[in-house]
A and B are shown apart, each in its own frame.
Chain A
């Protein structure tokens, strides 16, 4: 499915105009914001999809998760053994048993390859689908989604748990940035989110104060209606107020409101609870959620770290997420994308760790119409290079956007007026769509 190229109803000329003006540093792209806000009423009908981006920050070892090499030499193979899954012929790591039981729900991409072995370069590449240029800062997936999809009343359209990490909005600007929770959810608790939690302030207090603001904020008079910047600020102010005033956003972050049939699927660790929150937020209407699952940078003691701390929550969290989305009827309209910024060196280092290895990473895609139960691409016998077909981060990004109904070739203008496509070089992988 694909939304027509200019889904916001802009003609090419309008688009240029907005782009150019934003270039001078005071553009809100307000017409877009307004048209989105106005269209907000039609959103929850399910016309647009949602996405959950799970960022395995630090770079998860492909060889010890989804691309095991049991026949590689001792110097490379690692301690973990592969296990079979509910998809014949597909094997993954023995420490991911729950995912093995639902492998039909996701697709694995192997041999995803690039050349940037530093976190600060690779993260924005994997998080935007574009290799960084010195002159352009590209927008994250979430920023593009919140630009492309209609705004939702009383809710942020892009949420990061607990933070987005690198490259939040790039040249698109703060308007499309994430709402960051700052904290991860705890089982059975409502989250106290900075700026949203009331902490003893009553709704009556809020109304009285807001009433005062309304009376005070008259300096610009009718003037404000003719100025993009001023009326834009009013829009954001009203939305922020409506978020605080209504309970919709607070409820969305309140895990105690989730039925036991759903909460029971999730383990108590913070990643699993973040997955539960993500499912709840999608149901509430949030369009994009980043789950930032960090500490995968296992230069030391790779196997114990993975076995004890990292793989069990990943296994429990993701498998429960798929089950919860299924139970809520949201699985087919929610694209889940799981990736680190690179894989790790096949050769085990002297500290029983693995270092950065961008040449043959592994990604997981699920839901939202992605055809699960298959592996696309492959790495060589030691997991060092792609076997024959090279899948780039650009291709994965183009697939992700296409699954969401966003044309990856759509053109934006940067702040300096330069035309740039959402994904500059990628081609969607036909097997997945």
Chain B
């Protein structure tokens, strides 16, 4: 009973979805004349040196889209998932439309364009070769140590694992049943492809990045980052490659309310040096945090190294004092709503800008003799080896201070940067296998410390071959035999490295548990419940106007005059729902004080007492701090707290679906598929039907299954 919730962000475009009686896509539509030139990536050495813009081979994605009733919207094509077309307008607004509701030429364009995008992905042959290479590199280290691969994983375990890893939630009974019944020999590869290109992928990746990039609704003194969040989701949805995404964040200019990409750097606007040490760790695994204050006791970095690389940000500034001061002055006056005023002043007072002067100096208490305290710093890149001096990534121009940030970003995201590719490959590997090839992910300074250095090198090659396309990279990992093996126990790393005879048994992340509860309780439509809050935030921009009472009043009028709510206003009347914006496709259901939408669509991070935080969602103050630890309050929440009630209160979608089956055995089968993605064993079915005839309800059985460890863990 698959049903799409209409997803469109503003009423004016509602026509694009309309009702079920729409026009059918024109099957005869011909693709445009231009011949697609699929990227031919077949060998290791292909296409890593030069990176032409990725869209070079593609026709323009811009188009005026229309429906049979004559409504029109100009927008660029982003993606096609099943029958949902995502486009983006010139104003940066993302709209989603149903394929069958477009005029035939437009639906044909969307289908064709999607196909061209797919053609740019890895050839199936390359995926096989690259995945085989992974298996080979792991296999040979296992053999050398006299160890073996784990047994291949069974279909049921694979099914549940790939759903959780690729789209961040468990499959529904219907999805599980369809997969298990599929007889195609390549059904695993088919499922991997389908999931990687479905909306849940964006949600899963967004949660993963949220922890890494510290995605937080408000930073500093209350600057909203909703545009940053929307921007990030758009990048993921539209397959922006990792290098392009990082480059965009590091070179972004302006206010976050105008340009979401600035959100990353502005987070640390008040502490720019911390920001630099943070981004070196996140994107390069360069462990310079200690060198910020003193020469590192164990690592090779000196405080001088840190200051020299930080100087690439020494001509950039995130705080606009004039605007903030102007806001403070207005606060003394009368007539304006103080809360709104502070909010708008902050939203406009933080902006990334570059000057012609690099002003960073060594600290006045600098205690080493290699340079003088308080002397000016010459921007210099960090290097890991002597060979780096001839590396093409290091050809940067430091003569123009205003362009230092761009030059740094070019170096950092260059395919030949000694750590950029390995760092993201290592992090994605950890996401997929439960442990990185080199731990901790924040320190790649000595690659010889990797559990399997050759594997890490290979992964970096693969990610470069795919031009930093994270979707395609994961396609390779998921298709490896290593991934498709039984999961192992968490190892004692003191006794030696984990050699990856298979992935690790993992407790689901907070977001995976929550999103799985959401699909159980609401159904698969929850993947289409999308929240955008940045559009309201954009209204807060003063543009280039000064901070005067008049301009401020105009902004406040604009914000309250439009039918959209002020960013940060409460909506929906649920106490925990602070900072809710507008959901596309109607209001999400609410129960027991919880909004039933996926974690990526809830406040970032969720409020402190929310299920997500109890289960280890990070507070987004420090990178990579989400946990999968257990605790007693967690279990109480799961048993008889809100989470337990969601399953047992009688409105749970999975229980309703099971109730429609025509025998007690079939009802039990359905629940097992919903909760554990497998059929029950004969004795489990007998046990459950006995319980049902003994007075327990389907809700009780569902509750019991949801409280097993099998539910909470990824095998």
- Write the residues of chain A forming the contact surface with B, with a CB cutoff of 8 angstroms: 17, 20-21, 23-28, 134-137, 156, 163-165, 168, 173-180, 182, 194-199, 201, 205-206, 208-209, 212-213, 215-217, 219-220, 223-224, 226-230, 232-237, 239-241, 243-244, 415-417
Do B271 and A134 have beta carbons less than 8 Å apart?
yes
How many Å lie between the Cα of A136 and that of B442 in the bound state?
14
Q: Distance (Å) between the CB of B543 and the closest chain A CB? A: 30
Do A230 and B713 have beta carbons less than 8 Å apart?
yes
How many Å lie between the Cα of A196 and that of B638 in the bound state?
11
Q: Mark B694-715, 1 if CB is under 8 A from A, else 0.
A: 0110001101110111101101
A156-B632, A179-B632, A215-B687 are known contacts. Are A240 and B712 too (CB-CB below 8 A)?
A: no
Across the interface, which residues of A come within 8 angstroms of B696, CB to CB?
208-209, 212
Is B505 interfacial (CB 8 A cutoff)?
A: yes
* Cβ 8 A contact of A174, one of B274, B442, B630: B630
6 contacts between A and B (CB under 8 A): A17-B494, A24-B435, A163-B609, A213-B704, A216-B705, A244-B636
Do B634 and A26 have beta carbons less than 8 Å apart?
no
How many Å lie between the Cα of A212 and that of B708 in the bound state?
10
Do B634 and A174 have beta carbons less than 8 Å apart?
yes
Interface set, chain B 667-715, CB cutoff 8 A to A? 676, 684, 687-688, 691, 695-696, 700-701, 703-705, 707-710, 712-713, 715
* Cβ 8 A contact of B439, one of A24, A27, A206, A235: A24
How many Å lie between the Cα of A178 and that of B715 in the bound state?
29
Having A28-B630, A135-B622, one finds 4 other A-B pairs with CB under 8 Å, namely A137-B622, A209-B700, A217-B708, A219-B715
Q: Mark B596-610, 1 if CB is under 8 A from A, else 0.
A: 000000000000110
A208-B700, A244-B639, A417-B440 are known contacts. Are A236 and B631 too (CB-CB below 8 A)?
A: yes
> Which A residue sits closest to B681, measured CB to CB?
A218
How many Å lie between the Cα of A21 and that of B498 in the bound state?
12
Q: Distance (Å) between the CB of B291 and the closest chain A CB? A: 12
Do B627 and A174 have beta carbons less than 8 Å apart?
yes
Q: Distance (Å) between the CB of A184 and the closest chain B CB? A: 14
Across the interface, which residues of B come within 8 angstroms of A226, CB to CB?
489
Do B640 and A174 have beta carbons less than 8 Å apart?
no
How many Å lie between the Cα of A134 and that of B641 in the bound state?
34
Is B324 interfacial (CB 8 A cutoff)?
A: no
Across the interface, which residues of B come within 8 angstroms of A180, CB to CB?
609, 633
Residue among B277, B631, B638 facing the most chain A CB atoms (10 A cut-off): B631
A163-B608, A208-B700, A237-B635 are known contacts. Are A416 and B442 too (CB-CB below 8 A)?
A: yes
Across the interface, which residues of A come within 8 angstroms of B505, CB to CB?
220, 227, 229-230
Across the interface, which residues of A come within 8 angstroms of B492, CB to CB?
17, 21
Q: Distance (Å) between the CB of A412 and the closest chain B CB? A: 15
Across the interface, which residues of B come within 8 angstroms of A177, CB to CB?
631, 633
Do B628 and A25 have beta carbons less than 8 Å apart?
yes
Do A179 and B608 have beta carbons less than 8 Å apart?
no
How many Å lie between the Cα of A281 and that of B638 in the bound state?
24
> Which B residue sits closest to A223, measured CB to CB?
B489
Do B625 and A137 have beta carbons less than 8 Å apart?
yes
Across the interface, which residues of A come within 8 angstroms of B703, CB to CB?
209
Do B442 and A240 have beta carbons less than 8 Å apart?
no
Is B621 interfacial (CB 8 A cutoff)?
A: yes
Do A220 and B710 have beta carbons less than 8 Å apart?
yes
Do B709 and A220 have beta carbons less than 8 Å apart?
yes
Do A212 and B700 have beta carbons less than 8 Å apart?
yes
How many Å lie between the Cα of A17 and that of B495 in the bound state?
10
Do A217 and B709 have beta carbons less than 8 Å apart?
yes
- Write the residues of chain B forming the contact surface with A, with a CB cutoff of 8 angstroms: 271, 274, 277-278, 289, 434-435, 439-440, 442-443, 489-490, 492-494, 504-507, 608-609, 614-616, 619, 621-622, 625, 627-642, 676, 684, 687-688, 691, 695-696, 700-701, 703-705, 707-710, 712-713, 715
> Which A residue sits closest to B593, measured CB to CB?
A194
Do A173 and B627 have beta carbons less than 8 Å apart?
yes
Q: Distance (Å) between the CB of A163 and the closest chain B CB? A: 6
Do A233 and B639 have beta carbons less than 8 Å apart?
no
Do B636 and A173 have beta carbons less than 8 Å apart?
no
A28-B629, A230-B713 are known contacts. Are A243 and B494 too (CB-CB below 8 A)?
A: no
Across the interface, which residues of B come within 8 angstroms of A25, CB to CB?
627-628
Across the interface, which residues of A come within 8 angstroms of B631, CB to CB?
174-177, 236
How many Å lie between the Cα of A237 and that of B442 in the bound state?
32
Do B639 and A195 have beta carbons less than 8 Å apart?
yes
A134-B278, A195-B640 are known contacts. Are A416 and B440 too (CB-CB below 8 A)?
A: yes
> Which B residue sits closest to A16, measured CB to CB?
B494
Across the interface, which residues of A come within 8 angstroms of B435, CB to CB?
24, 26
How many Å lie between the Cα of A177 and that of B630 in the bound state?
10
Number of A-B contacts (CB under 8 A): 179
Residue among B608, B616, B625, B636 facing the most chain A CB atoms (10 A cut-off): B636
Across the interface, which residues of B come within 8 angstroms of A27, CB to CB?
629
Across the interface, which residues of A come within 8 angstroms of B507, CB to CB?
26, 229, 233
* Cβ 8 A contact of B490, one of A209, A213, A229, A234: A229
How many Å lie between the Cα of A46 and that of B275 in the bound state?
48
Do B640 and A196 have beta carbons less than 8 Å apart?
yes
How many Å lie between the Cα of A386 and that of B395 in the bound state?
55
Do B709 and A230 have beta carbons less than 8 Å apart?
yes
A208-B700, A244-B639 are known contacts. Are A26 and B630 too (CB-CB below 8 A)?
A: no
> Which A residue sits closest to B706, measured CB to CB?
A213
> Which A residue sits closest to B619, measured CB to CB?
A137
* Cβ 8 A contact of A198, one of B271, B274, B640: B640
Do A195 and B434 have beta carbons less than 8 Å apart?
no
How many Å lie between the Cα of A416 and that of B506 in the bound state?
19
Across the interface, which residues of A come within 8 angstroms of B634, CB to CB?
174, 236
How many Å lie between the Cα of A175 and that of B614 in the bound state?
10
How many Å lie between the Cα of A20 and that of B497 in the bound state?
13
Residue among B442, B625, B633 facing the most chain A CB atoms (10 A cut-off): B633
Do B628 and A26 have beta carbons less than 8 Å apart?
yes
Q: Distance (Å) between the CB of B558 and the closest chain A CB? A: 29
> Which A residue sits closest to B715, measured CB to CB?
A219
Across the interface, which residues of B come within 8 angstroms of A164, CB to CB?
608
Do B622 and A236 have beta carbons less than 8 Å apart?
no
Do A173 and B629 have beta carbons less than 8 Å apart?
yes
> Which A residue sits closest to B495, measured CB to CB?
A17
How many Å lie between the Cα of A174 and that of B615 in the bound state?
8
How many Å lie between the Cα of A228 and that of B506 in the bound state?
11
How many Å lie between the Cα of A25 and that of B436 in the bound state?
11
Residue among A164, A179, A223, A230 facing the most chain B CB atoms (10 A cut-off): A230
Do A195 and B629 have beta carbons less than 8 Å apart?
no
Do A213 and B609 have beta carbons less than 8 Å apart?
no
* Cβ 8 A contact of B637, one of A23, A28, A195, A209: A195
* Cβ 8 A contact of A227, one of B489, B614, B636: B489
Across the interface, which residues of A come within 8 angstroms of B494, CB to CB?
17, 20-21
> Which B residue sits closest to A206, measured CB to CB?
B640
Across the interface, which residues of B come within 8 angstroms of A239, CB to CB?
632, 635
Do A23 and B636 have beta carbons less than 8 Å apart?
no
Q: Distance (Å) between the CB of A188 and the closest chain B CB? A: 24
Do B271 and A240 have beta carbons less than 8 Å apart?
no
How many Å lie between the Cα of A219 and that of B627 in the bound state?
23
* Cβ 8 A contact of A212, one of B506, B676, B704: B704
Do A194 and B642 have beta carbons less than 8 Å apart?
yes
Across the interface, which residues of B come within 8 angstroms of A197, CB to CB?
640
Across the interface, which residues of B come within 8 angstroms of A212, CB to CB?
687-688, 691, 696, 700-701, 704
Q: Distance (Å) between the CB of A403 and the closest chain B CB? A: 27
Q: Distance (Å) between the CB of B276 and the closest chain A CB? A: 11
* Cβ 8 A contact of B622, one of A134, A163, A240, A417: A134
> Which A residue sits closest to B635, measured CB to CB?
A240
How many Å lie between the Cα of A179 and that of B633 in the bound state?
6
How many Å lie between the Cα of A240 and that of B615 in the bound state?
15
Do B609 and A174 have beta carbons less than 8 Å apart?
no
How many Å lie between the Cα of A198 and that of B709 in the bound state?
23
Residue among A165, A212, A239 facing the most chain B CB atoms (10 A cut-off): A212
How many Å lie between the Cα of A206 and that of B633 in the bound state?
17
Residue among B629, B633, B638, B703 facing the most chain A CB atoms (10 A cut-off): B629
How many Å lie between the Cα of A229 and that of B504 in the bound state?
11
A25-B628, A174-B631, A216-B684 are known contacts. Are A240 and B639 too (CB-CB below 8 A)?
A: yes
